[in-house]
Structure 1
Amino acid sequence: MVVLNKIYTKTGDAGETALGNGARVAKHSMRVTAYGTVDEANATIGLARLHATSEMDSQLAAIQNDLFDLGADLCRPDMEKDAESEYPPLRVSDAQVERLEAEIDVMNEALEPLRSFILPGGSALAANLHLCRTVSRRAERLSVELATMEAINPAAVKYLNRLSDWCFVASRIANNGGLDDVLWVPGANR
């Protein structure tokens, strides 16, 4: 259980922060940038939830929880020491990725195939889901970059990749099952 009884600690005033294993690193380190962007993606999901109802809201709530898991995963380096740890760190699992895939498949069954690229917009929910999609893609790119420097959980990258796909398909559902998608018209304003 987490207990937060004092919000400011002043330990980061010199530009460093603590990772999940206690190591201190610069706040601009690639690892902090990656999990900070995952946190940003989570905040955009919160905005989308303001417009979601019923099943999609429940799915978005599960995604928010997953993103906290993912942030905790990225916050904890030294994957090779996981087995030795008295308290194994939280890692994103392939089952979480597979759940997103199953939800994408169900949503996609209700949609007509795309014949054009879609512009972000339409309903408020769809527009917010497009924002979630792009921030998730940025978190994925940063996590992939981190993986070139340090070992990270491959399921974390897979999750972020599927999440952006999930948000895209969900945005189409939010646009009246794709009927109200805003289509790109190449060269329309030449």
Structure 2
Amino acid sequence: MSDMSTNPPDEQPTWSGDQGGPTPPPPPGAGAQPPAGGYAGPPQGGYPPQGGYPSPPGYAPPGGNPAYGGGGYSTQPALSDSDQRMWATLSHILPIIGLSFLVPLVVWLVFKGRGQYLEEHAKEALNFQITLVIAAIAISIISVITLGLGTILYLAFIPALVFMILAAVTANRGEMYRYPVNIRIIN
């Protein structure tokens, strides 16, 4: 059995450049041209090029490309205080004219992340409108069961109207408003 760990002294290669020995052999395929449109493999030396590897075609990094003004998750600027108050007021008052939960839902989804004040008011208004829809369905079922006598329960929507007006006025002043009777589904 021969010992493979020993080499004759004259064939001992030295691979470090500071000892002045021979240089290591080039990796397989070194100097070959990359295939057209395909993966070229790592660059010479095995280290990424200065600035990193290029992105593949059609790839957009999360949050946009910083070279084109992206780089964050929200590329839209934050709303001013007056704009937040205006949209918060509208999210409370427009459901009165029959748009129900659609207005606060659209305001919340469109302006999400552009102002904490507006986002809180839109969620509060949306939760209240969902609560009113649930109440309307329940009153309708009760009215059918009681042969119309349950329609008197629709008078409960008068205080709801007052609450919406109070919420709109409070939002316009720049203060937070919490509905007294509200199922908070969306947090």
TM-score tier after normalising by the smaller chain length: under 0.3
TM-score under structure 1 normalisation? 0.27
Which protein has the bigger strand share?
Answer: 1
